[in-house]
A and B are shown apart, each in its own frame.
Chain A
Amino acid sequence: MRKTLLVASTALMLAAGPAMAQQKTIKIGFVSTFSGPTAVIGNNMRDSFELALDHLGRKMGGLPVEVIYEDDQQKPDVGKQKTEKLIEFDKVDFISGYIWSNVLLASLKPVVDSKTFLIIANAGPSQIAGELCSPYVFSTSWQNDQTPQAMGLYMNQKGVKSVFLIGPNYAAGKDMLAGVASTFKGKVVGQELTTWPSQLDFSAELSKAKAANPDSIFVFYPGAAGVQFLNQYAQAGLKGTIPLYTAYTIDELSLPRQKELALGVPGAQEWVNDLPNDANKKFVADFIKKYNGSRPSFYGAQSYDAVNLINSAVVATKGNLSDKEALRKAMEKADFKSVRGKFKFGNNHMPIQNFYLQEAVKDASGDFVLKTVATIVEDNQDMFHDKCPMK
């Protein structure tokens, strides 16, 4: 009797085995900055990521989703450590996030070595678009140079003759300044890189910019540094004398503290909160509703897209996460409704997309908001895709 029971139960377990494997959860690791002065960015990304999961009923292809958030403290070494922990200990199926290019570059090797799918939700160092591109790495943001390149084109349209470049001394800062210089047809009269992220006083750099007497100044200062730069730019008496052009310096997170100082300062971006597509309207409205009036940023929009990209691949492969080849092919199709409208991948898994001119305005209720002014460039592809061996 006991033997029969044993055999029967074994048989049952065997029969149930494949079904139980199907019932696994999808594990996603999310590395971003959740402490320190730039935690505001990380929190906005997490909020958008959570909202996207809510919209999907917290399931992808019928499987429940579990997200593990890790704080990189804006430090490359910590980011790498947290990435390794997610891969080796939590055994995540997908990994996403990454605000900072230097953190991403440090964390890339463990991801690629373990063949874990990485969906970058912000950073876009040139190396990853070019020689370090990988079949397992996708981006829902941009390559760093693209946004400032769009700004350079806009400055040509405005007939700007010369520019002084200021940015932080790390991977993204160098990409940004190189990006604007590559499309700007006028003269680059000077370039200053500042110690990142510790240097917050830009007096020496602003004095040099003033002395060089350029037509314009271009800056890239993400997060709180963007607030500080605008303060000091106004205090140095440059507002109204030398116009400012920016990339990633004025966004929904810094605007509440930049206020009037941001008015009339143009910026380039691939996503603006008022883009007129249905996916975006739903994202922005539900974000404001869920998080009591705080507003989504482009960081959040990219994180929201990352969830939907993962979902599209899981649905297309019917939840079979072990077939990496099929998953990769499904992701390359980018079969999801991006909040920025049109969206497709190039050979290097970087998006080919539009860039818009945005400007800060005061809305009817006296709040400062960003709005789209014009489309600067359509279907823009990064300039490093030729260096990527994937075809």
Chain B
Amino acid sequence: MTLFIEQCLNGLQFGLLLFLLAAGLTLVFGIMDLVNLAHGSLYMIGAYFAATFAVWTGNFVLGAVLALAATLVVGMAVEVIAMRRLYGRDHLDHVLGTYGLILFFDELVRVIWGPEGLSLSLPSWLNTSVQILPGVNYSAYRLAIIAVTMVVAGFLYVLVMRTRIGMLIRAGASNREMVGALGVNIKLLYTLVFGLGAALAGLAGLMQAPILTVQIGMGENILILAFVITVIGGIGSIRGALVAAIFVGFVDTLGRAFFPDLLRLMLSKDAASTAAPALSSMLIYLLMAIVLVVKPEGLFSTGQK
């Protein structure tokens, strides 16, 4: 039972982290109709900034805050310099253009930080485990990730549902042309939304940095999951992204945790332990396929094609 609780927390933590990445992706996709493959690069940039600033300032939290701000600036700069040229063009052009950006950022990071990658060490108060229930110890840092992402999710909810900017964002997601026609400064809105998405990706990257290592191409694997979440949750919907992300986090973690044991009941021990990791990593895609069959627009469609 304690194992199950722990695995649920693992799943929740992973899902919430994915939500940060998927939220930015779904906003940009929904509002600007832009397929942004370079979203994973911003995740990487956030992690590199955090690792660098944490060493400079000698303080983990301060480094993280600076990195967040820096990623926001980089995101807005990328929007003004590169993304603007891509709006209104074919999706294939988006894919081509933003894939080029991935190569650009990978090479830029190689030039600045070198190919070895960096590590971001945690302060000792985070690098331990705490007792959450009698007999259940859990990593303090993973708990901190859960807390921070929940706060961010709450902030996004207020921002999108309760503020004027949020209203424009929602309006933009359901009907772009109309928002422009009503005299809203759509250029500024786009820059802000893209910057916000970049900052969220950067936050995900810098929080993941102490768990994984900071390295070139770290955003590419996780970006695929973020796209899956965007598709399951419905393009443009933040609420959909949250639900889908937690769902995917649970399916992935619990699948990895309990699927091998289940398989061992049916197959020989060797065959099961070889096949289980492969099969459990497919569960997410299976989930996506089922959602697409039942609700082709995703779970929370914003009503736009």
Where the two chains meet, the residues of A that have a C-beta atom closer than 8 Å to any C-beta of B are 36-37, 39-40, 43, 169, 174, 191-195, 198-201, 203-205, 207-208, 210-211, 224, 227-228, 231-232, 234-237, 253, 256-259
Partner of B127 from the list A169, A200, A235, A259 (CB cut-off 8 Å) is: A235
B116 interface neighbour in A40, A193, A232, Cβ under 8 Å: A40
> Of B139, B216, B260, B276, which contacts A235 at CB under 8 A?
B139
Across the interface, do B3 and A193 meet the contact criterion of CB distance under 8 Å?
no
Any chain A CB within 8 A of the CB of B166?
Answer: no
Are B129 and A193 in contact, CB atoms less than 8 angstroms apart?
Answer: no
Whether B216 pairs with A37 at a CB distance below 8 angstroms is yes
Q: List B residues 8-38 near A (Cβ within 8 Å).
A: 10, 13-14
Contact of A193 with B273 in the complex, beta carbons under 8 Å:
yes
Interface centre among A174, A201, A259 (most CB of B within 10 A): A201
Q: Which residue of A lies closest to B121 (CB)?
A: A259
> Is the Cβ of B211 less than 8 Å from the Cβ of A201?
yes
Contact between B119 and A232 (Cβ–Cβ < 8 Å)? no
CB-CB nearest in chain A for B269: A191
* Nearest CB in chain B to that of A198: its residue: B221
Given A40-B115, A224-B117, do A169 and B216 touch, yes or no (CB 8 Å)?
no
Knowing A195-B281, A199-B277, A199-B281, say if A235 contacts B3 (CB, 8 Å). no
Assuming the contacts A199-B281, A236-B139, A237-B128, asked whether A43 and B115 have C-beta atoms less than 8 A apart, the reply is yes
* Interface pair B213/A257, CB less than 8 Å apart: yes
Q: Report the minimum CB–CB distance from A202 to chain B (whole Å).
A: 9
- Distance in angstroms between the alpha carbons of A337 and B290 in the assembled complex: 61
- Bound Cα distance from A205 to B276, whole angstroms: 13
The reply on B170 being an interface residue by CB < 8 A is no
26 A-B pairs in the complex with CB atoms less than 8 angstroms apart: A36-B216, A37-B218, A40-B116, A40-B117, A193-B276, A193-B277, A194-B256, A195-B278, A199-B256, A203-B13, A203-B14, A204-B7, A204-B10, A204-B256, A210-B6, A210-B137, A224-B117, A227-B119, A228-B211, A231-B212, A235-B128, A235-B142, A235-B211, A237-B128, A237-B129, A258-B119
| Total cross-chain contacts (CB, 8 A) | 107
Which chain A residues lie closer than 8 Å to B10 at the CB level? Answer: 203-204, 207
What chain B residues lie within 8 Å of A231 (beta carbons)?
Answer: 119, 210-213
Instruction: Find B213's partner among A43, A224, A234 (CB 8 Å cutoff).
Output: A224
Return chain A residues, CB-CB under 8 Å to B121.
259
Q: Which residues of B contact A193 (CB under 8 A)?
A: 273-274, 276-277
Q: How far is the CA of A391 from the CA of B119 in the complex (A)?
A: 49
- Bound-complex Cα distance A235 to B119 (A): 14
Q: In angstroms, how far is the closest chain B Cβ from the Cβ of A277?
A: 29
State the CA gap A207–B136 with chains docked (Å).
Answer: 10
The answer on a CB contact under 8 Å between B257 and A207 is yes
Contacting residues, chain A, for B280 (C-beta < 8 A):
195
B69 at the interface (CB under 8 A from A): no
B234-260: which have CB < 8 Å to A? 253-254, 256-257, 260
Q: Is B122 an interface residue (CB 8 A)?
A: yes
Across the interface, B139 reaches (CB within 8 A) one of A192, A195, A237, namely A237
CB of B211 within 8 A of CB of A232, answer yes
Do the beta carbons of A36 and B277 come within 8 Å of each other?
A: no
- Is B163 interfacial (CB 8 A cutoff)? no
Q: Looking at B3, B119, B128, B221, which has the most chain A CB atoms within 10 Å of its CB? A: B119
Q: Which residues of B contact A259 (CB under 8 A)?
A: 119, 121
Majority DSSP secondary structure for residues of A touching B:
helix
For residue A37, which residues in chain B have a CB less than 8 angstroms away from its CB?
A: 117, 213, 215-218
User: What's the nearest-Cβ distance from chain B to residue A66, in Å?
Assistant: 25
Taking a contact as CB atoms closer than 8 A, the residue among B2, B212, B260 that contacts A211 in the complex is B2
Q: A203-B14, A208-B257, A257-B116 are in contact. List 17 more A-B contacts (CB 8 A).
A: A37-B216, A199-B256, A201-B211, A203-B142, A204-B254, A204-B257, A205-B256, A208-B3, A211-B2, A231-B210, A231-B212, A235-B127, A235-B129, A235-B141, A253-B116, A256-B116, A259-B119
Min Cβ gap B231→A in Å is 19
- Is B118 close to A, CB under 8 A? yes
Which B residues lie at the A interface, using CB under 8 A? 2-3, 6-7, 10, 13-14, 115-119, 121-122, 127-129, 137, 139-142, 210-213, 215-218, 221, 253-254, 256-257, 260, 273-274, 276-278, 280-281
Which chain B residues border A204 with CB–CB below 8 Å? 7, 10, 253-254, 256-257
CB distance from B15 to the nearest CB of A (A): 12
- With a cutoff of 8 Å between Cβ atoms, the chain B residues found around residue A234 in the complex are 127
Residue of B nearest to A169 (CB): B277
Shortest CB distance A177–B (Å): 9
Task: Find the B residue at minimum CB distance from A191.
Answer: B273
Chain A residues near B218 (CB-CB < 8 A): 37
Given contacts A193-B276, A235-B129, A257-B117, are A207 and B7 in contact (CB under 8 A)? yes
Choose one: B215, B216, B260; the contact of A192 (CB below 8 Å): B260
In angstroms, Cα B218 to Cα A195, docked, is: 16
Which chain B positions have C-beta within 8 A of A235?
A: 122, 127-129, 139-142, 210-211
Q: CA–CA, A257 to B218, complex, Å?
A: 16
CB distance from A132 to the nearest CB of B (A): 19
A174 to B2, CA, bound (A): 29
Knowing A211-B3, A235-B142 are in contact, say whether A201-B14 is a contact too (CB < 8 A): yes
The docked-state distance in angstroms from the alpha carbon of A364 to that of B254 is 46
Chain A residues with CB under 8 A of B117: 37, 40, 224, 257
| Assembled-state Cα–Cα distance A228/B212 (Å) | 5
A236 contact set on B, CB distance < 8 A? 129, 139
B residues within 8 A CB of A203?
Answer: 10, 13-14, 139, 142, 253
A-chain residues with CB within 8 Å of residue B118 when the two chains form the complex: 257
With A37-B216, A193-B273, A224-B215 already in contact, the answer to whether A207 and B3 are too (CB < 8 A) is yes
Q: Which of B217, B218, B257, B278 has the most CB of A within 10 A?
A: B257
Question: Closest CB-CB distance, A262 to chain B, in whole Å?
Answer: 12
Residues of B within 8 A of A228 (CB): 211-213
What is the bound-complex CA distance between A195 and B283, given in angstroms? Answer: 13
A237 touching B137, Cβ below 8 Å: yes
